Amino acid sequence: MAVRRDLRESFERRRQRPLVHEVRDELERMILAGEAPAGARLNEHSLAAQMGVSRAPVREAARSLEREGLVRTVTNQGVFVRELSLDDALELYELRALIAGHLCARVAETATAETKSELRAFVARMQDAADANDGDTYFAENIAFHDRIAEAAGPGRARTLYVALGKEVRLMRLRVLSGKASLAPSNREHTEIVAAIARGDADAARRAGADHHLNGKKRLLETL
Amino acid sequence: MAVRRDLRESFERRRQRPLVHEVRDELERMILAGEAPAGARLNEHSLAAQMGVSRAPVREAARSLEREGLVRTVTNQGVFVRELSLDDALELYELRALIAGHLCARVAETATAETKSELRAFVARMQDAADANDGDTYFAENIAFHDRIAEAAGPGRARTLYVALGKEVRLMRLRVLSGKASLAPSNREHTEIVAAIARGDADAARRAGADHHLNGKKRLLETL
DNA sequence: CAACAGAATTTTGTTGACATTCTACAATCA
DNA sequence: TGATTGTAGAATGTCAACAAAATTCTGTTG
């Protein structure tokens, strides 16, 4: 005899979801969405009150985000949303390029046919967005595309690292991709990545993945 | 007007370093020293009592270590020293190889004459240890050597990442380098790295740095 | 009016206690 | 005997209150 599935899941979710995690996710969302702008101080008391919890979970969540590089804490002064210098951002682009190459190479070696067609669908959607000059859609699909590649590389440190560095980059809240002029070249690089993955060429995939991010760095420099 | 140096330092010292940091360092030390073996549960209450603090700082320190990959936490069960699978370790070697290459390339571009001779001194000391078959000394100098390179690359995410991944690797507590048979080849690679850095050849330094870590991965596989 | 000293307020650092959940072991029953 | 249930102890999750530090405000003084 089995209990109702949805009931079981509801129990599981309730049990395994400490407040710290909820708070952490919410803080991360606020930061990445720009609701808490770079340099802003995160007031423990007011945040705790807003979320209806005590300060302890908020503090723990902050420690978590600190190690991830999204906030910095100053003793007796509080935690602040991290401000990213240009040099910081450029370095993040280089590191992401290295790890993205690693991920792409692995995906090229292990991707199933289904994964490949999924990635092609992403590129097609981005092409539509680029043609329509729809920067918002392209932006969102772009993030989802790269997350999908990271996911396809399987679990492991490389994936978590790539995702974490991606969040750090977004701290700058600079929309590098804007206008058809930069959307089209960006998606051409996506096409190359997917092509290399599709034909199982790990080395080419590594180069294409890394180059794409290094070109992103160039595009960033050009927009300044 | 400048404040007296010793007075300033006394102020800095008085400005209480938060307990979280002390606790974090101590937990990290215990884990890396093997006093808290992989898989062991870290009891909040007993740790807090041992260190003479309350549980809150211990919990915050644990969240910090969690993001760094040194512990994993299970809801309502506690935090456990992370157990590193062989696949985990191999991936860490590859990621470190990528980042080490990045660091070495940067050092090759920026190192001062003093830094270069310092690195050469490290290699010489390691050679002595290898000749004397002194694995313990070699082990310690090896870590210091790589930390020195990371430091010479300047501040930034690459350096912190490299160091953090290094700590993760040490979770396995496996002494790969043992016996003159593996010490000598390892130090030959060190020599190559330093040579490439000394002549300012960034590409060669990147390759040498990466290869050294990939060879470390090979040596790990061979000892199994 | 500017600069400074000091009180008042706010905010973080830390603690101990309470609530909930898990674990271990003993008692019970087939 | 073996499996199951119930219970006691211990551990984690959360909270509210106190202590210490930083910030802000204010009144004074030159």
B90-148 per-position pLDDT tens digit: 999 999 999 999 999 999 999 999 999 999 999 999 999 999 989 889 999 999 999 99
Position A10 scores a pLDDT of: 55
Q: B101: burial class by Cβ within 10 Å (0-12, 13-18, 19+)?
A: buried
pTM: predicted TM-score of the whole model, two decimal places: 0.90
Position B95 scores a pLDDT of: 97
Mean pLDDT of A76-92: 95
* pLDDT tier, A56 (very low <50, low <70, confident <90, very high otherwise): very high
Write the single-letter amino acid at A104. C
Q: Where on strand C do bases come within 7 A of a protein Cβ?
A: 11-17, 21-23
In the predicted structure, residue B59 carries a pLDDT above the cut 60: yes
Nucleotide with C1' nearest the A45 CA: C11
Q: Does B23 touch chain A (CB under 8 A)?
A: no
* pLDDT tier, B10 (very low <50, low <70, confident <90, very high otherwise): very low
The residues of the protein lying within 7 Å (CB) of strand D read A 18-20, 52-57, 75-77; B 15-16, 41-46, 55-56, 59, 73, 75-79
Q: Does B157 touch chain A (CB under 8 A)?
A: yes
Interatomic CA–C1' length for residue A77 and nucleotide C2, angstroms: 28
- Which pLDDT tens digit goes with each residue over B203-223? 999 999 999 999 999 998 988
- What is the C-alpha separation between B207 and B203, in angstroms, rounded? 6
Upper half-sphere CA count for residue B6 (Cβ side, 13 Å): 0
- Which pLDDT tens digit goes with each residue over B153-208? 999 999 999 999 999 999 988 777 666 678 999 999 999 999 999 999 999 999 99
